[in-house]
């Protein structure tokens, strides 16, 4: 008579530590998909709206209460950053909430440097341009790519978010430089940046590197949206504004952003498709 062998049952406590850790520390897992949206016309519309909202909200809150502005600007930024970094894939409401709060916080950072130090917009613009250049160089040397399609690791996402913050600060300084220091006025400045946006668009259509064209356009969206927001919200004696009011404009832009983000989230049209690893810069 042959006695069948019985395999010992492995206790639950001996489960692989990695499996347990994946439940204990989900925030440390690498993303399972790209953490940013597909680049479509909807992306650019929402991006410009967030830049205008960030400008109007920062100025409006600052004029109402510096303490309130600081709490919302800094606190909202830290909360949004935490939510974005903890997610393991692109989620439209989380991503655009983060970008919106980066817009507010980036404006605060740029304005504080100008007001606190008394430095001209020429100097602050040059400073933030240098910061952006350093981040791009560091990012590319570290990861070998700046492509928006490859934001699929925690390290790349941190590079991306740091660069986005720096571009918002740069765009704020450049927008005020052109609209106020150069006395062009906010509306004319907005038209100037709108025309400048056509340069990377045309270059991309003619076959220029898509990643370089994307980041050139991305940087320009900040002064573009901010200039038109200032034109609508500020009084006429400040850059020729229409005097609509910063906080009222902020409320309208928040609603518009929420509607478009809701559409993007429900439709799923802005979720990136997988592409070859070696595509792009």
pLDDT digits (tens, 9 = 90+) for 63-105: 888 888 889 999 999 999 999 999 988 999 999 999 999 999 9
Domain range list for the chain = 39-267
Q: State the DSSP code for 206.
A: T
Full-model pTM: 0.83
End-to-end CA distance of the chain: 70
pLDDT digits (tens, 9 = 90+) for 130-181: 999 999 999 999 999 999 888 989 999 999 999 999 999 998 899 999 999 9
pLDDT of the residue at 94: 96
Asked whether the beta carbons of 214 and 39 are under 8 A apart, the reply is yes
pLDDT digits (tens, 9 = 90+) for 209-255: 999 999 999 999 999 999 999 999 999 998 899 999 999 999 999 99
pLDDT of the residue at 152: 86
The phi-psi region of residue 267 (left if phi > 0; otherwise alpha if psi is between -120 and 50; otherwise beta) is alpha
Residues 6+ apart with CB under 8 A from 60: 233, 245, 246, 247, 249, 250
Instruction: Tell the residue number behind the tokens 């001209």, with chain if given.
Output: 120
pLDDT of the residue at 273: 73
Residues 6+ apart with CB under 8 A from 172: 55, 106, 107, 110, 111, 222, 223, 226
CA-to-CA distance for 262 and 160, rounded, in angstroms?
A: 23
Tokens at 27, concatenated:
């925030």
pLDDT of the residue at 123: 94
Asked whether the beta carbons of 77 and 102 are under 8 A apart, the reply is yes
């Amino acid at each position: 008579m042959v006695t069948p062998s019985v395999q010992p049952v492995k206790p639950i406590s001996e489960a692989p530590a990695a499996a347990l850790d994946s439940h204990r520390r989900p925030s440390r897992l690498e993303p399972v998909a790209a953490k940013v949206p597909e680049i479509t016309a909807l992306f650019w519309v929402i991006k410009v709206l967030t830049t205008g909202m960030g400008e109007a909200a920062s100025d409006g809150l600052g004029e109402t209460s510096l303490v309130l502005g600081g709490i919302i600007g800094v606190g909202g930024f830290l909360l949004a950053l935490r939510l974005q970094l903890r997610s393991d894939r692109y989620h439209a409401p989380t991503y655009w909430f983060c970008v919106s709060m980066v817009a507010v916080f980036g404006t605060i950072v740029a304005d504080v440097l100008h007001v606190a130090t008394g430095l001209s917009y020429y100097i602050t613009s040059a400073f933030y341009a240098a910061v952006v250049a350093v981040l791009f160089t560091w990012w590319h040397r570290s990861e070998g790519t700046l492509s928006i399609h490859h934001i699929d690791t925690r390290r790349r996402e941190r590079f991306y978010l740091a660069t986005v913050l720096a571009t918002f600060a740069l765009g704020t300084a450049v927008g005020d430089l052109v609209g106020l220091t150069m006395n062009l006025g906010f509306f004319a400045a907005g038209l100037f940046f709108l025309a400048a946006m056509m340069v990377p668009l045309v270059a991309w259509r003619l076959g220029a590197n898509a990643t370089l064209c994307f980041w050139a356009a991305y940087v320009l969206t900040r002064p573009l949206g901010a200039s038109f927001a200032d034109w609508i919200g500020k009084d006429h004696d400040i850059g020729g504004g229409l005097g609509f009011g910063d906080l009222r404009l902020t409320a309208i832009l928040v609603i518009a952003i929420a509607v478009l983000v809701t559409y993007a989230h429900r439709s799923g049209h802005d979720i990136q498709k997988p592409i070859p690893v070696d595509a792009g810069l």
